[in-house]
Chains A and B, each alone.
Chain A
Amino acid sequence: MGGLFLELFFFICFLILFGLSLKRKPSFRLKGIASFLSFLGFLLSLWALDKRGFFFHGLYVLDGLSQTFKVFIAFGLFLVCWMIKEEEELEGGYGGEFYAFLTLSSLGLMMVVSALEFLTLFLALELSSYSLYLILPLRRNAKQKALEGAIKYVLFGAISSGITLYGIGYYYLLTGTTKFLFLSLEKDLLGFLVFLLVFASFFFKLSLFPFHFWAPDVYEGASNSASAFIATVPKLGGLALLLRLSGLVGGGELLAKALWAFSVFSMTYGNLSALVQRDLKRLLAYSGIAHAGYFLFGVMTFKDHGRLSSAFYGLVYLIMTLGAFLTVILLSQRDENPTLEDLKGLYQRSPLLAFTLAVSAFSLVGIPPTGGFMGKLLLFISAFKEGYFTMVLIGAINTALSLFYYLNLVRLSYSQKPEIRTPIKLNFREKLLCLIFIGLNLFLGVFPSQIQNFLDISFTTSHIWEAR
């Protein structure tokens, strides 16, 4: 049972943080504790990386896929906890709740990636979603918007959960069990429908077309750090489960076609809408919708190499999006939403911050030598190998489209005169974070093999349904 220690640890973290939150005016720094605990959690997730096994009568699994994604999730949580500017962002005295439910949401996602049965999966999914529903309104400023975003998130979350439940019902009808089984979908319309319905919740988490409507409003309404979390970590959870379920499907041509359509719409819609945004967070929301489309490239190959590419891109996405959000967080002085105008002359106000944004933006476009390039290269080649030629072409055109708004961020911060001339002073922690994001973005682009070794282990052992 040693492998489950990770989940246990996160649960204990939640309890500690929740306990601390009961005191209205905490006399010690909550942020420090939360960062420390989440860092321990990250280290623990690395320790748990090679743990394997089935638990609870085969309903819960520790395998390569789950353990790898747990590392990603723990890492994301740690970075978010470390990035946050608590005093400015949160309603006074709610820090404890914020960290506690952030941790609980991550725990839920960790259980999502390990679930091997639909009810377990559903409970884990709701655990992570409900925690997020609580976090969203905890914003100091812009109360109205925060509430609006939170309501939208709850509404869309509930609807997609309902659709997923409906799909699970059909699954039970089809197989007589709620365990994950290998299904051959050839000429099986019902099977196709089941998966399409079940996927709804994950599409929602990924903010994939047509479940993307919440994203811009939620990002805009939530505090900067909360949107940084929502933009990254839950998406990884959703992606992991899509990868797992895609392994359950044999001959899913119809399903692949549906995914193809979702992916294309998501990319195109996301990129086109991002072109006209003035609010930086809304822009990142649409960029996230577009990237959800790229994730599907690997999923719909239904092959190991495709899944590996998608997982790699998931990690890259985590790093580059959090890097962009770091700029958002540090740019806004009182947790207002930064607009593109605020970026003007960022280079003169803080060269390091401007460079972080530039590297993240270049990575989001996919320009070498950043991780985004390697990720896209892997995805495009995987899709190409499986014969999705038009798909790759549309992906390439979309990359070109996205260039305009990402490059605009860099252009504004480097070659325009600032309207506000006050320099942005970064403290040691913030400088370190900037360097970490720059370093990781470049590392993933130049030394991808390190990560591949890491992922290889996970994907060669991921055929659990055959082992069982």
Chain B
Amino acid sequence: MELFLNQLPYDLLSIVIFLPLCGAFLALLTKTDLQAKIIGLITTFLNFAISLLLLYHFDPTRIGFQFVNLKEWFPLLKLRYAVGVDGISLVLVLLTALLSPICVLCSWRAIEERIKSFIFCLLLMETSMIGVFCALDFILFYLFWEGMLIPMYLLIAIWGGPKKDYASLKFFIYTLVGSVFLLVAIIALYLKEGTFFIPHLLFKGYDLQFQLWVFLAFSAAFAIKVPMFPFHTWLPAAHVEAPTAGSVFLASILLKMGAYGFLRFCFGITPQASIKMAPVILILSIIGVIYAGFLCLAQEDMKRLVAYSSVAHMGFVTYGLFTFKLWGFKGAMLQMLNHGLTTGALFLCVGILYERTHSRLILDNSGLGQRMPLFVAFLGLFCFSSFGFPGTNNFVGELFVLLGAFESNKALALFLIPGPVLGAAYMLRLLKRLVWKDGETLPLKDLNLREVIYLAPLVVGIIWIGFAPGGLISLMEPSLKVFLQAVSGG
């Protein structure tokens, strides 16, 4: 892909990546907890504003990486500090920047101890998440990819729920094992091509044997991160035990990295192997969608339910990607964003309830229709969006994926149909049991202004994508076509 060097007088992209890091250290230096929270909020909000500037300067008609910045980093291994974004990574950067202030806001009262360290970890996460999407050097990419493991581990291990010990360990070991395979693949590519620079490694047409090995190593890492069906068991544990902000980061952004990796690296570097292995991935995706759907139907814990629904939604994403059709690609990308917004919002809702009732069981939180009407309005919208009600974002995404699926393989696509149906079943069941209840109920405090403020942007996003996804798609389409060409042409 072509590289468009940064033409702006300042290095906008590096600012977006490293501003949270500066904020993180600033937060450590503060005197009171309130100051730390304010610094966290200001940094993340400012970063979102700056990332909008990125969107403003981004030229969607140019195909290739923009705002590219190249600097020598470690000449011995020919490492470079190389960052840049194309349409695919830009939207993910925006999503990250949008969710970060929301995560700070949602932890305002929920986190009571060691707030400075908490803000530090959150901001560190933001830097490494944005870094993953922007890195154009494989070792830099790996540094961010793994660097996020430590703050995420700490988020779960320190501020997590009762089984945090088990959950944090499982998360760490699973992800690390996957990453080791990733590293092996990176080194293998380096020895073959003598560079870690990603644009020079893309679309090279390596021989099939080599591609297959690299693909297997890559997909081990990405499938664990997504997570795909047999590798998903770390996810419910980690999601349930993590604090709300951690769950939102995990669900909305960390899971996207797996799908991003499939798209960018598996399709870009090992296209033939991807085509060869596609049936396996497709079948695993279908199993994920249906199996997770049934699991959701049986959950009594709201957070577990949302966590398993993530597995189902991400199954749609991987299915969309491995259809190798433009509809599928667009649908997968949209689904990634949608899942980020909707599932993030659902986790926030669960967090809000937990703050009030100190229970995540559906039974303990029933009858909300009377007790928290405003909250139920939001929750209702998010639940409807989650199973793809027309007019909400997931409808568009799932529709596109299904279009792609039927275009590529009609028989297999039929198995995908129960997915949205199951989604409707478990989401409506959840909604019904939460909203209605016979008998008396104790009153609960409804949403306060802070909570409305951080839920509102998600509502706007959900409805906006539901009705007018065109703008977003035109942003991503040129970049998607490049990768599509690699997997369908070669």
| A contact set with B: CB distance below 8 Å | 305, 308, 347, 351, 358, 362, 367-369, 373-374, 377-378, 380-381, 384-385, 396, 399-400, 403, 407, 410-411, 414-416, 445-446, 448-449, 452, 456
Closest to B188 in A: A384
In the assembled complex, the CB of A242 is this many whole angstroms from the nearest CB of chain B, namely 21
Q: Which residues of A have CB within 8 Å of B180?
A: 396, 399-400
Measured CB to CB, the nearest residue on chain B to A448 is B74
A411 touching B149, Cβ below 8 Å: no
Nearest residue in B to A392 (C-beta to C-beta)?
Answer: B187
CB distance from B139 to the nearest CB of A (A): 7
User: Which of B77, B117, B176 gathers most chain A CB within 10 Å?
Assistant: B77
Complex interface: chain B residues within 8 A of A308 (CB): 76
Cα distance, A39 to B355, chains bound together (Å): 53
Give complex CA distance A380, B77 in Å: 12
Contacting residues, chain B, for A305 (C-beta < 8 A): 76
Q: A377 vs B140: C-alpha distance in the bound complex, in angstroms? A: 13
Contact A411 B75 (CB under 8 A): no
CB contact under 8 A between A415 and B150, given known A308-B76, A367-B176, A378-B77: no
- Contact size range, B: 20 to 34
CA distance A83 to B422 in the complex (A): 61
Q: Which of B164-172, B399-407, B452-460 lies on the face that meets chain A?
A: B164-172
Please list the 8 inter-chain residue pairs (A to B) with the smallest Cβ-Cβ separation, ordered nearest first.
Answer: A415-B157, A415-B165, A414-B157, A368-B146, A368-B143, A449-B74, A369-B147, A452-B76
Contact B77 A407 (CB under 8 A): no
Which residue of the partner chain, among A362, A400, A416, contacts B177 with CB atoms under 8 Å?
A: A400
Are B77 and A367 in contact (CB-based, < 8 A)?
Answer: no
Within 8 A of A (CB), among B133-157: 139, 142-143, 146-147, 149-150, 153-154, 157
Query: Is the beta-carbon distance between B191 and A396 smaller than 8 angstroms?
Result: no
A305 vs B180: C-alpha distance when bound (angstroms): 23
Q: Does the CB pair A396–B169 fall under 8 Å?
A: no
Q: Which of B143, B160, B172 contacts A407 (CB 8 A)?
A: B172
Bound complex: CA A410 to CA B73 (Å) = 30
- B residues 347-374 near A (Cβ < 8 Å) are none
Task: Select one of A378, A403, A407 contacting B76, CB under 8 A.
Answer: A378
| Bound-state Cα–Cα, A362 to B117, Å | 18
Contact B184 A411 (CB under 8 A): no
Which residues does chain B contribute within 8 Å of A416, judged by CB atoms? 165
Q: Knowing A378-B76, A411-B157, say if A403 contacts B164 (CB, 8 Å).
A: no
Question: Known pairs A351-B114, A351-B117, A377-B77. 17 more at Cβ < 8 A?
Answer: A347-B158, A358-B154, A367-B149, A369-B146, A373-B143, A381-B190, A384-B191, A396-B180, A403-B176, A410-B153, A414-B154, A414-B157, A414-B168, A415-B160, A415-B164, A449-B76, A456-B76
B173 touches A403 (CB 8 A): yes
Give Cα A319–Cα B187 distance, bound, in whole angstroms: 26
| Distance in Å: Cβ of B138 to nearest Cβ of chain A | 11
Contact B164 A396 (CB under 8 A): no
Verify if B440 is at the interface (C-beta below 8 Å from A): no
Contact A377 to B75, CB < 8 A, known contacts A367-B176, A414-B154: no
Which residues of chain B from 407 to 430 have a CB within 8 Å of any chain A CB? none
Contact (Cβ within 8 A) B146 A367: yes
Which residue of chain A is the closest to B154 with respect to CB atoms? A414
Q: Closest residue to B164 on the A side, CB-wise?
A: A415
B147 touches A368 (CB 8 A): yes
Number of A-B contacts (CB under 8 A): 76
A-B contact pairs, 26 of them (CB 8 A): A308-B76, A351-B114, A351-B117, A358-B150, A367-B146, A367-B150, A369-B143, A369-B146, A373-B143, A377-B77, A380-B187, A384-B187, A385-B191, A399-B180, A400-B177, A400-B180, A403-B173, A403-B176, A414-B168, A415-B158, A415-B165, A448-B76, A449-B74, A449-B75, A452-B74, A456-B76
B72 within 8 A of A: yes
Give residues of chain B (69-102) contacting chain A, Cβ–Cβ below 8 Å.
72-77
Flag if B77 contacts A368 (CB, 8 Å).
Answer: no
Q: Which residues of A contact B187 (CB under 8 A)?
A: 377, 380-381, 384
Residue in A351, A368, A445 with the greatest tally of chain B CB atoms within 10 Å: A368
- Name A446's closest neighbour in chain B (CB-CB): B143
Closest CB of chain A to B178's CB: distance in Å? 11
> In the complex, which residues of chain A have a beta carbon less than 8 angstroms from the beta carbon of B146?
367-369, 373
Q: Is A362 within 8 A of B172, CB to CB?
A: no
The CA-CA distance from A403 to B176 in the complex, in Å, is 9
A residues near B75, Cβ cutoff 8 Å: 449, 452
Q: A425 to chain B: closest CB distance in Å?
A: 18
Q: Which residues of A contact B169 (CB under 8 A)?
A: 407, 411, 415
B190: chain A residues at CB < 8 Å are: 381
Known interface pairs A362-B150, A367-B146, A415-B165. Does A377 touch B73 (Cβ–Cβ under 8 Å)? Answer: no
User: What chain A residues lie within 8 Å of B157 (beta carbons)?
Assistant: 410-411, 414-415
A404-B141 Cα distance, complex, nearest whole Å: 24
Across the interface, do A407 and B72 meet the contact criterion of CB distance under 8 Å? no
In the assembled complex, the Cα of A381 lies from the Cα of B187 at a distance in Å of: 7
Binary interface profile of B, 204-243, with partner A (CB < 8 Å = 1, else 0)?
0000000000000000000000000000000000000000
Q: Which residue of A lies closest to B190 (CB)?
A: A381
- How far, in Å, is B219 (CB) from chain A's closest CB? 18
**Residues of B with C-beta under 8 A to A369:** 143, 146-147
Measured between beta carbons, the chain B residues less than 8 angstroms from A452 are: 74-76
Bound form: Cα–Cα A103–B172 in Å: 42
Chain A residue contacts of B149, Cβ below 8 A: 367
Q: What is the bound-complex CA distance between A347 and B153, given in angstroms?
A: 14
A208 and B486 alpha carbons, distance in the complex (Å)? 50
For the complex, what is the distance from the CA of A184 to the CA of B157, rounded to whole Å?
A: 56
Chain B residues with CB under 8 Å of A351's CB are 114, 117
Complexed CA–CA distance, A403 and B76 (Å): 27
Bound together, the chains give a CA A381 to CA B184 distance in angstroms of 10
